[in-house]
Amino acid sequence: MVIKYFSWIKEYIGKSEELIELPDDITTIAELINYLDNLNDHYKRAFVKRDLIKIAVNKTYCSVETKISNNDEIAFFPPVTGG
């Protein structure tokens, strides 16, 4: 699985992208976030405002209940503001 991070999420985690192999028990975005959150304090800090974070699976916006697999590309980014 490819996971991409943008803006302040990228800054907190310290990387813009990573490849991971999902454990068999991780099947939704919510479970993925919980898994990442438990890896270290960088992820924990990035996902502390998880209700603000937007998510895309394979370049389509989705919810935390969305099913995922190791073939997916996941993107986490803050809300977009314009001006």
Q: Which CATH number do you get for residue 8?
A: 3.10.20.30
Q: Is residue 15 part of a domain?
A: yes
Residue 28 lies in a domain: yes
23: left (phi over 0), alpha (psi -120 to 50) or beta: beta
- Total of domains in the chain: 1
Question: What pLDDT tens digit does each residue of the chain (83 aa) get?
Answer: 999 999 999 999 999 999 999 999 999 999 999 999 999 999 999 999 889 999 999 999 999 999 999 999 999 998 876 55
Q: Is residue 31 part of a domain?
A: yes
Buried b (16+ CB within 10 A) or exposed e, 6-15: beebbebbee
pLDDT score recorded for residue 71:
97
Residue 56: its pLDDT value, please?
Answer: 97
The amino acid that residue 1 corresponds to is M
Residue 82 lies in a domain: no
Q: Are 61 and 55 in contact, with CB atoms under 8 Å apart?
A: yes
DSSP E strand boundaries for the chain: 2-5, 17-19, 54-57, 60-61, 73-77
**Considering the domain boundaries, does residue 18 fall inside one?**
yes
Strand partners, 2: 19, 73
Q: Which domain holds residue 44?
A: 2-77
Q: Would you say residue 35 lies in a domain?
A: yes
- Residue in this structure with the two tokens 């989705």, named with its chain if needed: 62
Residue 41 lies in a domain: yes
**Is residue 26 included in any domain, yes or no?**
yes
